[in-house]
């Protein structure tokens, strides 16, 4: 059953799928359910963050209603993000409610990206609500380095959470942000560790979002360089494998596992973008790397019908930009956008 209070809202009647001005079908919605996190990763947040007042956040019922409106318009994949989604109070109520779209067949996948800190608590429940796979962000296997990168994190707690997720039957993929001088020498070991546990691994270039208190050029490690180094150690074969996101995958012959590469800087992936991002305040960002945004909270609260919301969604998709303009070099070390990654969702 949907969250109490969502039943009266009208469903779209034979609505057309969401197609942007460049002919891309929008089938994937990433939803940041909170901007708060129990870590302060050096590439994502400053150490002293000012978070949104809780009164500004959409209720879980409102998040359910907006997600459901997108499902009615042809979105087939929902990913819950943050901040850290599992620190949002009552988050399992939302997961349970959205799972009705899995049972009806309207949704192919409900998943989430997490730092793993709360997985020991929630893994079994996530699996029970139809979540099949999750992404866990983890950039090192060194406890001291992990504490330095996350500022507040406990690696042991995350590893226990991964154990719990796998025991619950969840397929886990590890996300690793490649950081110059921090974890670049550890990447082969991370690959072997993840593949040894039956987990694929995706490498991500640092993105110039928000002031994190450090120069981006000091953090930026091009994945073209990382891949060249990995090729000296492993036999990599290109794959057509896609998970709905921007990663390009290779198979590692020596381990049998897959490595994904997300390269917003060295190889712009915008031509195949099928995603939009909804924040916990009801702002819809049509592109992670642009400020183009639409307010869905106002039409959501203006009527019990979804007509105004659907019209606002249509208008937003009609203004989706072709792509982002991320640059990191000696002339472009400041954030491309003032908005932190945690606001839009990773």
Contacts of residue 225, Cβ cutoff 8 Å, sequence gap at least 6: none
Q: Which residue has the higher pLDDT, 213 or 74?
A: 74
pLDDT(197) > 80: yes
Residue 32 confidence (pLDDT) above 70: yes
Distance, CA of 57 to CA of 74 (rounded, Å): 25
Residues 271-281 have a mean pLDDT of 87
Tell me the Ramachandran region of residue 246: left when phi exceeds 0, alpha when psi lies from -120 to 50, beta otherwise: alpha
Contact yes or no for 57/297 (Cβ under 8 A): no
Query: Given this model, what pLDDT does residue 299 score?
Result: 97
Q: How much of the chain, in percent, has pLDDT values that exceed 90?
A: 66
For 281-332, the pLDDT digits (tens) are: 999 998 865 667 999 999 999 999 999 999 999 999 998 877 655 444 444 4
Residue 134 is predicted with a pLDDT of 98
Name the one residue in this structure whose structure tokens are 């990433």. 30
Residues whose CB falls within 8 Å of the CB of residue 28, separated by 6 or more in sequence, listed in order: 75, 76, 77, 79, 244, 245, 274, 275, 276
Distance of alpha carbon 142 from alpha carbon 132, whole angstroms: 28
> What radius of gyration do the chain's Cα atoms show?
19
To 10 degrees, what angle do helices 307-317 and 60-72 make? Answer: 60
Between 290 and 267, name the one with better pLDDT: 290
Mean pLDDT of 244-249: 79
Assigned token pair, 33: 């359910």
- Please report the pLDDT score of residue 92 as a whole number: 98
Question: What is d(CA 182, CA 113) in angstroms, rounded to the nearest whole number?
Answer: 22
**Poorest-pLDDT segment among 107-111, 140-144, 175-179, 264-268:** 264-268
Distance between CA atoms of 128 and 122, rounded to whole angstroms? 10
Please tell me the pTM assigned to this model.
0.86
Q: Which residue has the higher pLDDT, 295 or 7?
A: 295
Query: Tell me, what's the pLDDT at 158?
Result: 98
What are the extents of the domains in the chain? 28-344
- Over residues 108-155, the pLDDT tens digits come to 999 999 999 999 999 999 999 999 999 999 999 999 999 999 998 999
Residue 279 has pLDDT above 90, yes or no: yes
Q: pLDDT, tens digit, for every residue of 55-99?
A: 889 999 999 999 999 999 999 999 999 999 999 999 999 999 999
The first and second tokens of residue 216, run together, are 């981006």
CB atoms within 10 A of CB 148: 13
pLDDT surpassing 80 at residue 337: no
Q: What CATH number matches the domain at 28-344, 1.20.1510.10, 3.20.20.70, 3.90.79.10, 3.30.420.480?
A: 3.20.20.70
């Amino acid at each position: 059953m949907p969250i109490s209070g969502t039943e009266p809202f009208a469903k779209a009647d034979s609505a057309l799928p969401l197609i942007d001005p460049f002919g891309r079908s929008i089938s994937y919605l990433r939803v940041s359910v909170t901007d708060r996190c129990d870590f302060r990763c050096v590439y994502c947040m400053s150490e002293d963050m000012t978070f949104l007042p809780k009164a500004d956040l959409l209720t879980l019922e409102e998040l359910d209603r907006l997600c459901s409106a997108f499902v009615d318009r042809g979105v087939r994949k929902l990913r819950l993000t943050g901040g850290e989604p599992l620190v949002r109070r009552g988050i399992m109520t939302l997961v349970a409610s959205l799972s009705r779209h899995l049972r009806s067949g309207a949704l192919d996948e409900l998943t989430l990206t997490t730092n793993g800190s709360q997985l020991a608590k929630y893994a079994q429940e996530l699996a029970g609500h139809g979540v099949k796979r999750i992404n866990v962000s983890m950039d090192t296997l060194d406890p001291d380095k992990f504490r330095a990168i996350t500022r507040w994190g406990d690696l042991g707690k995350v590893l226990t959470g991964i154990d719990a997720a796998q025991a619950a039957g969840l397929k886990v993929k590890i996300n690793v942000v490649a950081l110059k001088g921090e974890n670049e020498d550890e990447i082969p070991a991370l690959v072997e560790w993840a593949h040894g546990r039956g987990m694929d691994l995706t490498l991500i270039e640092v993105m110039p979002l928000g002031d994190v208190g450090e120069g981006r050029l000091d953090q930026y490690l091009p994945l073209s360089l990382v891949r060249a180094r990995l090729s000296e150690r492993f036999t990599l074969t290109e794959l057509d494998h896609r998970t709905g996101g921007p990663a390009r995958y290779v198979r590692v012959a020596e381990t049998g596992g897959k490595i994904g590469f997300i390269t917003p800087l060295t190889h712009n992936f915008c031509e195949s973008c099928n995603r939009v991002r909804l924040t916990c305040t009801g702002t819809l960002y049509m592109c992670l790397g642009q400020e183009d945004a639409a307010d869905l909270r106002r039409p959501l609260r203006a009527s019990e019908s979804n007509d105004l919301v659907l019209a606002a969604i249509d208008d937003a998709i009609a203004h989706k930009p072709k792509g982002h303009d991320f640059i990191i070099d000696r002339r472009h070390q400041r954030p491309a956008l003032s908005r932190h990654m945690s606001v839009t969702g990773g």
